[in-house]
Amino acid sequence: MSQPSQRAKFVTLVAAIALPLSVAACSTTDNASPEAKTSTSAAVPSLAAPSPSVASPSTSESPSVSQAPSTAAPSNSTSAPFGPSCAAVPSGKGSFDGMSADRVATAASNNPLLSTLVTAVKAAGLVDTLNNAEDITVFAPSNDAFKSMNQTTLRKALANPSMLSGVLTGHVVAGRLAPADLSGEHQTLNKDAKITVTGSGEEFKVNGTASVICGNVQTANATVYIIDEVLMPAS
C-alpha cells in the first residue's frame, strides 16, 4: 500500500473516534436536570412580606354594661340635706361638709344664709350655750325670714337680750331630730314654747306657717332645719 493511502485511512479513523465523543458531550450538557444547572447559583431569599392576619374584633372583648341598681341614700336620710334652698348653700367653711366639722353657732357663722341669725345669737349671748350643748335640733330662720318679719319688733328684740333669748331658744329642741322623727310636737329650750311640725318626706311646716327650705343639715353637735319664718312666741 502506498504512503498517501495509509494517511487517508488514519484521518478517517480519527474522525470516526472523535465524532461519537463530541455527540456524547453535547448530549450530557443538554440533558442535565434543572437542579444540576442551578446547583452553583446562590439561593435568592424571598422578598414577599408575609400577609398579616386580620382578625375580626371579638365581641367578648367588649364588656357587658348592665345598669346596677342605685345605692344612693334617699334625700331625706340622716346623711343628706334636702329642700329647695340647699342649692344656695355656699362652698368652703359654710358648705355642708364645712358646717359638719363645727359646733352649731360657729357653723352658722360661716354660712352667709344665716348671718342675721348669728347676729341675733351673739346679741342674746347664746353662742356658748349653743356650742356647748350636746345633740340638739335648731330651726334656723334664714336671712329672708328676718327680713320678712316686722322690723320694729326685730329692732326691739335685738335691743333686749332677755326677750331675744326667749325667741331664739324657742327655735331649739333637745335631741337630734331626723326627718323621719320631725313631725309632731316638740318642747323647746324655752320652757314656755313648743314647736309643732307637720309633713313628711321633704315637705314640712313648722307651727303651721313656716316651711323647711333646707333641712337635715348636720353640724358637730346639732341637726339644723333652715326655715323661712321667725317663730315668734304667742302673745
pLDDT tens by residue, 49-86: 333 333 333 333 333 333 333 333 333 345 699 999 99
What pLDDT score does 235 carry? 63
Which pLDDT tens digit goes with each residue over 187-201? 999 999 999 999 999
Percentage of the chain lying above the pLDDT 70 cut:
66
Domains of the chain in start order, with CATH, are 86-227 (2.30.180.10)
Average pLDDT over residues 93-118: 95
Q: Of 25-29, 128-132, 143-147, 214-218, where does mean pLDDT reach its minimum?
A: 25-29
What pLDDT score does 21 carry? 41
What are residue 211's DSSP bridge partners? 205
The CA distances from residue 202 to 42, 56, 70, 186, in Å, are 92, 54, 20, 19
Backbone angles phi, psi at 200, to 5 degrees: -165, 175
For residue 102, give the amino acid letter.
D
Q: Of 34-38, 104-108, 155-159, 231-235, where does mean pLDDT reach its minimum?
A: 34-38
End-to-end CA distance of the chain: 180
What pLDDT score does 234 carry? 75
CA angle 219, 216, 131 (to 5 degrees): 25
Which pLDDT tens digit goes with each residue over 167-225? 999 999 999 999 999 999 999 999 999 999 999 999 999 999 999 999 999 999 999 99
Cell of 98: 364645712
Helix or strand (DSSP H, E) at 138: strand 136-141
Helices and strands (H and E) in the chain: how many:
9, 7
Average pLDDT over residues 8-15: 45
For residue 172, give the amino acid letter.
V
What pLDDT score does 233 carry? 83
On whether the CB atoms of residues 214 and 89 are closer than 8 A, the answer is yes
Mean pLDDT, the chain, rounded, equals 77
